[in-house]
Amino acid sequence: MDIENFFDDIKPRVIDYGRYASNIQKGVHSEDKKGESNAAQALTDADFIVQEGLSRSFLGLNYKFNLRAEEDSPYNEKFPREAEFIVSIDPIDNTLAYKKGLSGYCIVIGVHKNGHLEAGMVHTPNDGKIYCATQDCSQSWIYDDNFRSDFIFS
Starting at the edge strand found earlier in the chain, the sheet holding 66-69 runs 66-69, 85-93, 106-113, 116-124, 129-134, 140-144, 147-151
Q: Is 93 annotated as a binding residue?
A: yes
pLDDT in tens, 78-104: 999 999 999 999 999 998 888 889 999
User: Structural domains in the chain?
Assistant: 3-26+39-151 (3.30.540.10)
pTM: predicted TM-score of the whole model, two decimal places: 0.87
Q: Once rounded to an integer, what is the mean pLDDT over residues 53-57?
A: 96
Q: How far apart are the first and last CA of the chain?
A: 25
* Spatial separation of the C-alpha atoms in residues 13 and 71, rounded to whole Å: 18
Q: Is 70 annotated as a binding residue?
A: yes
